[in-house]
Structure 1
């Protein structure tokens, strides 16, 4: 490999642990709560907010998937799609069977005390209280190098890997959320 400055590097193996960059909304209070009570991963944070009133800011297939994970942690769950809900008829039926509410209204503000979420203020003026809210946002790869090397990506934008973390390029590996394709999981709402 050669850098823009002309430096050359050689290695038998290369591993990317470069992460992703979330495309988060520009909502008042967002950054004050991010990674405290506005969280991204039920595997990382689920136990902390188990059996609590929980919201999920998400939509479509990705939103349905994270909902299936969080539904195992609480019975008080609401999806906030921030616009028209984009779930299939089958997904809508499963959400209804599991008593999961869907709110399509945009979020104007996140109210909190020192990063501990208290409520969401919606664009119609409605105030909804939550203990935690998961954010399932679109993202992009933090590094473009895997693409330049020819690595394949999943339909969701993760680096495609096998069970040994190998990419589609021999000698190139990826780990972490740059290659964390959560759609491999099959959870309770899929059954």
Structure 2
């Protein structure tokens, strides 16, 4: 069967694109390997009518809604290859199955690498997070730590300051702040510690303190971390898509990339995770872009 679109990735961008295309009477196959980046997240925020919902529940609701549209098919499997085959695209899965589609939407998102700190994964998603807009309200007015080893350190601390005035910025042994940035942070009473972190202390994922190599210990109840982001799948590179300076797939307002009939939406396009509602909106626009392209071709 020739599908109108193959969607790689079952996050909010891919799901919303599938919804738009299903309602447009397009034959869609959506591939999802069920390895969501936000699997550790207990609540999703900033999505109107769904504020505080567990991400897994949000996905389950989306799946139920999509069953109303029989032209949308789900495949819970990992895609291993996406290649141009004549006028269409060939999609191969890990179990050897082949699919063919007229267009492809890359919505596989990102993978994250956390700073190399012992036991940081124990706290991530419970008291340490990556997005103040998503989890800042729940941490408001607490003594927080901001952990960032990269150029985002200053901006993350500046943003987190909106939710808490008791901030400790840790660069984990990396010199990433300018003298001007340090001066500005000091003017806001945001303390900076550039010493390497030896360990994080706490109980059942709830942070209690940060311990540095020299033995100094700072009491903190939670905070925010700046991970290193990379593409979760290599298909954009394999297909010849252009990337921006941050490593995201370049696309226009309707998700069109420089490669004919290849679209991109969600975090893979920006290389910095957005709120679920933003990714879903990008998926909607990409769905409209794909349907508009196919309508023009077929009319």
Quickly name the TM-score band, shorter chain normalised: 0.7 to 0.9
- Corresponding residue number in structure 2 for 1:2: 90
C-alpha distance in structure 1 between counterparts of 2:198 and 2:176, whole Å: 21
Q: Is the 8 A contact 2:251 2:258 kept in 1?
A: yes
State the Cα distance separating 1:60 from its structure 2 match.
Answer: 4.0
Structure with higher helix content: 2
1:43 aligned to which of 133, 139, 152: 133
> CA offset at residue 48 of structure 1?
0.9
Larger relative contact order (CA 8 Å, sep ≥ 6)? 1
Aligned twin of 2:102: 11
Larger Rg: 2
Residue 26 of structure 1 and its aligned partner are, at CA, apart by 4.2
Q: 1:107 offset after TM fit, Å?
A: 1.3
Q: Structure 1 pair 44/166, CA: closer, same or farther in 2 (3 Å)?
A: farther
Within 2, Cα distance between the matches of 1:67 and 1:166?
34
The Cα of 1:33 is off from its aligned counterpart by 0.9
Q: In the TM superposition, what is the alpha-carbon distance from 1:55 to its structure 2 partner?
A: 1.0
Give the CA deviation at 1:43: 1.6
Tell me the secondary structure at the aligned position of residue 156 of structure 1: coil
Residue 16 (structure 1) shift? 2.2
Within 2, Cα distance between the matches of 1:130 and 1:168?
46
Matched residue, 1:185: none
Secondary structure of the residue that 2:173 maps to in structure 1?
Answer: coil
TM-score normalised to structure 2 length: 0.54
Aligned to 2:196: 106
Q: Please give the alpha-carbon distance, in whole angstroms, between the structure 1 residues aligned to 2:230 and 2:155.
A: 19
Gaps of 5+ in 2: 1-88, 273-299
Partner residue, 2:176: 86
CA distance in 2 between partners of 1:106 and 1:39 (Å) = 19
> Superposition RMSD on alpha carbons, in Å?
2.5
How many correspondences in the alignment? 182
Distance, in Å, in 1 between the alignment partners of 2:123 and 2:260 is 41
Per the normalisation by structure 1, the TM-score is 0.81
Pairing 1:137–2:214 present: no
Match of 1:188 in 2: none
Q: Once the 2 structures are TM-superposed, how far is the Cα of residue 156 of structure 1 from its aligned partner?
A: 2.5
Q: 1:58 aligns with which of 148, 152, 163?
A: 148
Residue matched to 1:177: 267
Q: 2:123 aligns with which of 29, 33, 42?
A: 33
